Structure 1
């Protein structure tokens, strides 16, 4: 196995030098002690999802961290099912689906608990003259945050994911085409997970169980315990009784 020996590459676009070196040092330490064996490099698509590729830590540290990598520009010109779409200037059948350079932002390094042994790093696309791509979602967000900061405005953001719990396994549900599934609890409609952030730290998590009886409170509290176990801030639960 190739040993992951890192040198200190130069920061990519939009990455503060101190944050970059800090992220690189952390990744090197994780690779050295064996807790991370691969790096998932991803960029934000136009739909807000992640698209990218997974690399071995040695290759990422010695090659990709400094020089970036090349992916097809269609990553920024597809729908949610990865089908190329018309109307994009960045890549299309008319302009050719050529390669585009993506530069890692080591300041975004994290280690998702649902993919053990893998670190996640976000990457930003750049133009041929190494400037940030103007239409890239992360670059647009950075510009908006810079403008808000210039005006003395701070953004409080949040997300909400709704889900329903069903009997069976993921493989069984896929085999059934996700049709005619049986809810885990009779009358259970949906559970909503809301995450609200205030400033740089996670502040409030909330779960709403939409059930006429509240019988889905057990899995809700299991989720609650999982978040608290991983130190993801304060979690409050509430129940919405459906009519």
Structure 2
């Protein structure tokens, strides 16, 4: 089945009722109690971001949530933090669900994430943190991995502000048809390179407007939206926020966008590289503030190139750790198809002043002074990617690493140190990195390596179309 994107789309009001107005974000617990009592809210989703950055959880009775779960947490199987994308729980993870008899962890709700879902009327969503049977946070949970790095920043009196820029491809086919076609031969929603174009994306505007409106109603602030290079490609950019909240918004946005596409009878994907065209990126903008809210990266006369000395060291840390931490930015086999020469994605290690060909782009001034980290793709787990950026920056600051000269011109065409070219290379660099072990601890290193090895094992056991075409007759 295929569908169009113009007048044949259902009106926006069919899936996003215009009234009542959205509640404040986060939704106050007392507001939730009142809406449960009135029948406006009939379900609460208690969820946990998993290793892939997906929202995993259960619908619970809303009165049970407000009376008990908000205080005691909600049990869920430990394997949610130790599976691949197919929900296969292989041995080898630092938190091994099989060794523990597939026991439970507790999802402790974080009420700062409580919101109503306009694409699922009557439903509230709350994200939570994983706690073990001993009551302690599960160290390898992605949300905890990020919190640990943010706590390290807080020890210096700093906090991180971040924004993630996600790209995705929209297809006219619905998800069931795409699945039955083995995701081959799908029809992109637009026909041309529509980067910054206006007329070429009018056919997808109803769906894009629906997504933007829905995200605004969940507490996000849309800054911009536009077509991108690949046919059917689009990008919606949201206002930066505290790093943890940005990552929470990121995973809710991905889940909601998929549901809204399904309701419109179409499909979209955030995978890093769908075909030979441009891939889907997830550029991360990040800056630091001190306890008074002053920008740590702003030019204060202590550094070069319009940066503070802290920003210089922070950028130098990105370069020093980029190869070792690449698994945190590119977690899948497919990720490295995007990180290839001539794919308009970084493949070398370097930085530049407002240079989009570099993996680290230094941009802005004063309060807007920040880095744009361009390595992650649309498949990256935002918690892990941002945690790695913060950890690398702190390493650079702690070691007072000197910043090399910036790359001038097209970094794609220049020689120099390179990012890993495969998942095998990335996991080897990660497992053998003393820096990773010092920044994240041995359990996180082992856990993420096991996740990568699970992906490698699944891929090596499969037979691809490429192999059949190449060897069926001629092998």
- Do they fold alike, i.e. is TM over 0.5? yes
CA distance in 1, matches of 2:135, 2:97: 21
Query: Which of 200, 207, 214 is the aligned partner of 1:215?
Result: 200
> Greater CA deviation, 92-101 or 228-237?
228-237
Q: Does 1:57 align with 2:62?
A: yes
- Is residue 115–residue 125 contact of structure 2 (8 Å, CA) maintained in 1? yes
How far apart, in 1, do the equivalents of 2:71 and 2:207 lie? 42
Instruction: Sort the Cα spacing of 1:221 and 1:156 in 2 relative to 1 into closer, same or farther, 3 A.
Output: farther
Larger RCO, structure (CA 8 Å, separation 6 or more):
2
Alignment of 1:236 onto 2:224: yes
Question: Relative to structure 1, is the Cα distance of residues 174 and 143 closer, same or farther in structure 2, using a 3 angstrom cutoff?
Answer: same
Q: Computing the radius of gyration over CA atoms, which structure comes out larger, 1 or 2? A: 2
- Number of corresponding residues: 204
Contact kept, 8 Å, 2:44 with 2:61, in 1: the verdict is yes
Shift of 1:143: 2.3
Q: Give how far 1:82 is off.
A: 0.9
Stretch moving more, 140-149 or 70-79: 140-149
Can you give the 5+ residue segments of structure 1 that lack an aligned partner in the other structure? 1-19, 189-208
- Taking a change above 3 Å as real, the CA distance of residues 80 and 225 of structure 1, as seen in their structure-2 partners, is closer
Secondary structure at 1:164 match in 2: strand
1:71 touches 1:100 (CA, 8 Å); kept in 2? yes
* Cα displacement (A) at 1:102: 2.4
Tell me how far apart the structure 1 counterparts of residues 227 and 105 of structure 2 sit (CA, whole Å). Answer: 47
Among candidates 157, 166, 181, match of residue 161 of structure 1: 166
1:131 matches 2:106? no
Report the CA distance shift for 1:226/1:241 in structure 2 as closer, same or farther (over 3 A).
closer
CA distance in 2, matches of 1:115, 1:211: 31
Q: CA deviation at 1:28?
A: 0.6
The Cα shift of 1:43 comes to 0.9
2:112 aligned with 1:112, yes or no?
A: no
Contact 1:210/1:241, CA 8 A, preserved across alignment? yes
Q: Which moved more, 1:176-185 or 1:41-50?
A: 176-185
The TM-score with structure 2 as length reference comes to 0.38
Report deviation, 1:55: 1.0
Deviation by residue 1:201-234 (Cα, 9 ceiling, x = unmatched): xxxxxxxx44899612452476257526836435
Cα pair 2:192 2:200 within 8 Å, conserved? no
- Counterpart pick for 1:227 among 179, 189, 212: 212
SS in 2 for 1:43: strand
What RMSD in Å do the two structures reach over aligned CA positions? 3.2
Alpha carbons of structure 1 residues 165 and 94: separation in structure 2 relative to 1, 3 Å = closer
Shift of 1:99: 1.8
Query: What's the CA shift for 1:109?
Result: 0.6
Unaligned runs of 5+ in 2: 1-25, 231-276, 278-475
**What's the secondary structure of 2:133's corresponding residue?**
coil
Q: How does 1:1-243 map to 2 (within 5 A)?
A: 23-187=28-192, 209-210=194-195, 215-220=200-205, 223-224=208-209, 227=212, 230=216, 232-237=220-225
Q: Which residue of 1 aligns with 2:360?
A: none
Change in Cα spacing, 1:228 to 1:93, as seen in structure 2 (3 Å) is closer
- Residue 113 of structure 2 contacts residue 127 of structure 2 at CA under 8 Å; is this kept in 1? yes
What is the Cα deviation at residue 121 of structure 1? 0.8
Seen in structure 2, the aligned counterparts of structure 1 residues 235 and 222 have a Cα distance that, compared at 3 Å, is farther
More helix by share: 2
The structure where strand makes up a greater share of residues is 1
Change (3 A) 1:133 1:236: closer
Q: CA separation in 1, counterparts of 2:33 and 2:176? A: 36
